[in-house]
Structure 1
Amino acid sequence: MMFRPARTLPSRLALRAVEVLPGLALTVPIAIAATLIGSAVPVLGSALPAIVIGVPIAVIRRPGARFVPGVEYSGRFLLQIAVVLLGAQLSLDAILRVGAESLPIMLTTLAVCLLGTAVIGRALRVAPRLRTLIGVGTGICGASAIAAVSPVIGAVGAEVSYAVSTIFVFNILAVVLFPLLGHALGLDPHTFGLLAGTAVNDTSSVVATASVFGASALGFAVVAKLVRTLMIIPISVGLSVIESRRAADGRRMTLRGAIGLVPWFLIGFLVVALLGSLGGIPAAPRDAMVHASGFLIAVAMAGIGLSTDAAALRSAGWRPLLLGAILWILVTVTALAVIALTGFGR
């Protein structure tokens, strides 16, 4: 009897494939279209176009029961696989080169952002899960952080859609305003790269912002952004512990229980990052993993868009957008203040 699960695995996988294929037949084409849009207009990336395509479909006519398993599979499991593959972007050498200079700025801006999320979000009466998504999206790395945290806190499609859309608004503003701000303040490319990597959210928007300022700022901006991505791990683990304690009605958390709470995809993210840092992933597979991660995030965002509850999205109102604006300004001002106080770039 103990070997029965192994013997039945092929049939169970086949049944699961049949179950999810109809939904994937919706999400994958949307992701392909979103990826083409992102390639043509790099500042857009692929995550937001996938949601922008998926949400109107859900508003007009939400997918029926036949499509729900595949849509949910896209928005959950494939999203977690995408987070694992994100680890391939990290380099230990790059982290060591920029860590000493950038870490104080990153930790300060993250602390200010999370504190602002708690205080201002509560004052604006933004729903807890939505304000958490907006906070980590602003403080860490946009859609990737939202993708990592959403399954940890049990966020629903409408909340994820609103959070990603809110973050995107300020990514676009950053591409336009940050280069003007950098030139007005007389920042050198090295310093501007740190500012862009710290205060702009999604990687595609960091690249676009630094490129507009000058090609020499691009490399440092990307490295700073990838180091910032590491904050996904402690934040997600912390949130998983908080969520478990809340669900357990405040019962004491044991070490064994805390270890068991670490999401498998975050462990995978760390393992892939370590392998990449130690040279265990050749260049071609690493590039393939990075591209696959971006595409799977687009598939996940398509699934999330298709599962959006329009009524719930409308009920969120203008308050989350205002929260995103305030947090974005706080992060930018804090980054500039720490740069000035530490004399970075001089």
Structure 2
Amino acid sequence: MPVKTNLIKLAYIILLGLCITPLMGPGVALVVGAAFAIILGNPYTEFSQSASKWLLKAAVIGLGFAVDFNQVIEVGRSSLVLTIVSITAIIGLGEILTQVFKLNRNTGVLISFGTAICGGSAIAAMAPVIKAKDHEVAVALGVVFLLNGVGLLLFPTIGHYLNLTQEQFGLWAALAIHDTSSVVGASATYGALALSIATTVKLTRAMWIIPYTTMAGVFWRSEEKASIPLFIVGFLAAALINTYLPDYSSIWSALNSVAKQVLVVTLFLIGSGLSLSVLRQAGVKPFIMATLLWIIVSGVILLLILDGFI
């Protein structure tokens, strides 16, 4: 048994090392990590969970060094109405589906909020505001995590099949995929322009965590306050530096390249966090509800993009 365990640990380390090289792409890293965890088990569960959170934040900040700060401001300004309407509509639809499937109220709210804004970050911010229990948070995160993996693999395939431009795909990925990690991973496989647009739109959208959790606090009469994730501030700072200090563009480009490789490592770690216990814990009804909500949202957004409405 110790020999087998050591071999599994060695194989995990080797695959993790490959993620540092150009041999492993974002989508492949996620799939390999998930397959390894489901078949052999993750020998470094605590490490992968902790490291993936910090590395994702670092990667997102680094990606900001390829973004024009003025573009971030323009995206936020031009998409103001779309953002408010879409987030509110998704949360409202989620509430209806929660009632239809007779789900636990808090679980339904967390899934809806995660779908509407930015997956795990939104769920983590909303949970204390609505006083969600640990198992309710775990179920919501588990369901969203599974759909993130599906989205990362499925969206680029659909995008190529429909001949979406990089601008169209970046926008669709940012509005329809839950977590920032999967948005960045899917768009990175589609193209550099798609990655830039998707990252900018997603992180601009993520800033709406604060007003929506504040409103939720009023309804739930909660004293808990959510704060804006610091990695979003870091991303904006990196974009600001890239825009107004162009003389050092070679340095910013190098940091951005490092960030892209860090993202590959992060996606492997996130994938290796998947397990049969997570699948079982999520349950059938929350998964069906979340999947139906996600299909409706991503389908409607895709149609609006194809028709030129957004």
Larger Rg: 1
Corresponding residue of 1:325: 291
Q: Structure 1 residues 287 and 190 mapped into 2: Cα distance closer, same or farther (>3 Å)?
A: closer
Corresponding residue of 1:7: none
1:291 is aligned to 2:261? yes
Q: Which runs of 5+ in 1 are unaligned?
A: 1-21, 64-69, 212-217
Q: Structure 1 residues 131 and 95 mapped into 2: Cα distance closer, same or farther (>3 Å)?
A: same
1:95 is aligned to 2:72? yes
- One-letter amino acid matched to 1:114: I
Shift in Å, 1:276: 0.3
How many residues end up aligned between the 2 structures?
280
Corresponding residue of 2:157: 176
Alpha-carbon distance in 2 for matches of 1:51, 1:287: 25
- 1:72-123 per-residue CA deviation (whole Å, 9 max, x = no partner) reads 3542x43432343223323313323544444544443333323223321343
Alpha-carbon distance in 2 for matches of 1:315, 1:170: 20
Q: Structure 1 residues 26 and 127 mapped into 2: Cα distance closer, same or farther (>3 Å)?
A: farther
**Aligned positions of 1:1-346 closer than 5 A:** 29=13, 32=16, 35=19, 40=24, 42=26, 44-58=27-41, 71-75=45-49, 77-85=50-58, 86-90=60-64, 91=67, 92-126=69-103, 131=108, 134-135=111-112, 138-140=115-117, 145-146=119-120, 149-150=123-124, 153=127, 154=134, 160-181=141-162, 190-191=167-168, 193-200=170-177, 202=182, 203-208=184-189, 210=190, 219=193, 222-235=196-209, 253=223, 258=225, 261-262=226-227, 266-267=229-230, 269-279=231-241, 282-302=252-272, 304-305=273-274, 308=275, 310=277, 313-314=279-280, 316-336=282-302, 339=305, 343=309
Q: Which runs of 5+ in 2 are unaligned?
A: 1-5, 128-133, 243-250
Give the secondary-structure state (helix, strand or coil) at the position aligned to 1:282: helix
- One-letter amino acid matched to 1:120: L
- TM-score, length basis structure 2: 0.65
- TM-score, length basis structure 1: 0.60
Shift in Å, 1:262: 2.8
Q: Structure 1 residues 343 and 130 mapped into 2: Cα distance closer, same or farther (>3 Å)?
A: closer
- One-letter amino acid matched to 1:262: S
8 Å Cα contact 2:20-2:261 kept in structure 1: no
8 Å Cα contact 1:82-1:294 kept in structure 2: no
- One-letter amino acid matched to 2:95: A
Alpha-carbon distance in 2 for matches of 1:309, 1:31: 21
8 Å Cα contact 2:142-2:282 kept in structure 1: no
Query: How much is the aligned-residue C-alpha RMSD, in angstroms?
Result: 4.5
Shift in Å, 1:32: 0.9
Alpha-carbon distance in 2 for matches of 1:94, 1:152: 28
Q: Structure 1 residues 291 and 319 mapped into 2: Cα distance closer, same or farther (>3 Å)?
A: same
Alpha-carbon distance in 1 for matches of 2:96, 2:299: 18
Q: Identity of aligned pairs, percent?
A: 17
Give the secondary-structure state (helix, strand or coil) at the position aligned to 1:231: helix
